[in-house]
Structure formats: C-alpha cells, structure tokens
Amino acid sequence: MRVLIAEYAVGSCERPELRREGELMLRTLKRSFERLGHEVLFPKAEKDFGKAIERLSKECDAGLVIAPDDILGEFTEILEENTLNLGCPAETVRTCADKLKTTEILLKNGIPAPRILAEEARGECCVLKPRFGCGSEGVLLLRSSDSCGVKCEGGEEYISTEFVRGEDVSVSVVASARSSLFLTVNKQFVERVEASGGVALKYRGSLVPYEGVSEAQVRELRRLSVAISRLLKCRGYFGVDFVLCEDDGKAYAVDVNPRATTSIACVASVINFEIAALILLAAEDELPPEDELRVNGRCSVRF
C-alpha cells in the first residue's frame, strides 16, 4: 500500500519556523507506516504544496495532510478528490479552524469552553487569538479586555475569550465513524513571553503521558474528547487542548486540532500499537477496545 504524508513545513517552501515540529511528525508517521510494510511518499520543498498533493495523491492508496489549521481544509479537499483521506474530513477541518464557530458549537452542546467575550466586557482579563489560526500562534493574554469582542485588524479577524487560569494539557485520540479510542493525556509546556500589548503564549513541547492529573480528571477528559469527536465528526488521529481550572479542576476545551499534533511523536513511542495501525483501523472502522491499549514509559519533547 502507498501512503501519502503531506506535511506542510517540510513539503512547502514556507513557514520555516514550523519545520522542526513538522519533521518530527513526518518522521514518526513515515517510520510507523513503513514498519507495517507500506510505502510512504511525501512532498519536500515544493513551490506549490497543493499541486504536489494533487500529483502524489493520485499515486497513493491513502493519505494524510498536516498543515496549519487555517489552510488545512483546502489541502485536505484536494487529497479527498484523489485518494482515501486517513484524517479528519475537510468539512470538519474547516469547522475546527474557525475558533469562534468551534467554541459556539461546543458551548451549545454542553462542552465546557472559555466563553467568547463581548465588547462590553471591558476590564476582564482575556485571551486574544486569531479567529483562524494554528495552536498558540498569535495568542495573547491581555491584562484587561480593552480589545475584547470579535474584530478585524490588518485584515485578520480576532476573538477574545475569558482567561481560565490553570494547567495546560492536551489529549490524543484516534476516531472512526462509530467509535473513538482515547490514547493519552499530555502535559503542554506553554511559555509566557512579554509582547506588545500583552503576554504571548508559546507552545514549547509536551510530556506524554502526564501523570499529574487525577483519575476523575482523566475520566472527564476522556468523556469530553469522545463527545467532541462525535460532535465534530473527527476521524483518524486528532488532539484537543484543555485547561484544567486551578480553582475546581474543571476541564475547559480550548482548541480542537483536526490533524496530527506534535505530541504524536511521544504518543507513538509509549503505546503498545503502531500509531499507523490505529489510523488504518480507524479508516476501516475497526478500532480495538480501549482495554487493549497499554501505555508504557514516558516521553517528552521540547522546542
């Protein structure tokens, strides 16, 4: 079987600041598929990433795209036109890329998430982030919400959400049409850097699995991530970022990442399944039961 892994930082000539993480994700998935006996194709330093996906996907039996969320939808759509998509559908990707829409969907369906602040909520500490963005890029913690609400600056739309003070974690999940397999809880290393207008939040890596959470919190994170998977129709490997509130330990969903995340490198090294095997089983709607999953050891990655 030929599998395309189209990772944007490696496959294009853009976003060199993401290349280290991109190489890590590509290498992890490539080696896992190859250990199963599959041939892996991937674009490298292409001037037109979309055209490269179109060309290579026609030569493959299945594929995955990894790219910043705001452009992932269009590339996923190209893949879907030519071969089997082993990741989230393009429609799901486009929904998750819209932070405002995703938050509204989660809250409407009873999933705890930081609420969107209206402009009249001035004086409240808040998080300002691009409405269409990737992870922690462009995210600012503001001392007061003078910039709250939904607005455009320099052609880019931003939203403000309440700031939930607590611990940054993520979960890794593999989902099929009928079921979801909860893999691990991951500690997120998030650095706060003084920036113009506030404090920038920068993702610096993760620790997998994270044992600093209670059994009750793990159960709740599992319940919420499975509910999110069903609600947004996630498929294949994806991640959800949460904040565990320091006041009551309640989990708030901050971002849904409809693609492989950097944590996949550590997840792949501690579980008793090939990550590629789980992705392929999800495509066939034959995920194993959770009691067959084992997590052994710990792994961390820092940037």
Instruction: Give the pLDDT of the chain (303 residues) as one tens digit per residue.
Output: 999 999 999 999 888 888 999 999 999 999 999 999 999 999 999 999 999 999 999 999 999 999 999 999 999 999 999 999 999 999 999 999 999 999 999 999 999 999 998 764 555 688 999 999 776 677 888 866 555 555 666 557 989 999 999 999 999 999 999 999 999 999 999 999 988 778 999 999 999 999 999 999 999 999 999 999 999 999 999 999 999 999 999 999 999 999 999 999 999 999 999 999 999 999 999 999 999 999 999 999 999
Do residues 153 and 278 share a domain? no
Do residues 101 and 234 share a domain? yes
Do residues 211 and 288 share a domain? yes
Burial class from Cβ neighbours inside 10 Å (0-12, 13-18, 19+) for residue 107 reads: middle
pTM for the model: 0.94
Do residues 197 and 255 share a domain? yes
Do residues 157 and 178 share a domain? no
Predicted local distance difference test score (pLDDT) of residue 229: 98
Do residues 141 and 172 share a domain? no
Do residues 103 and 147 share a domain? no
Do residues 199 and 226 share a domain? yes
Do residues 237 and 102 share a domain? yes
The domain containing residue 154 runs over which residues? 126-162
- 118 falls within a domain: no
Predicted local distance difference test score (pLDDT) of residue 208: 98
When divided into structural domains, the chain yields a total of 3
Do residues 35 and 133 share a domain? no
Do residues 70 and 169 share a domain? no
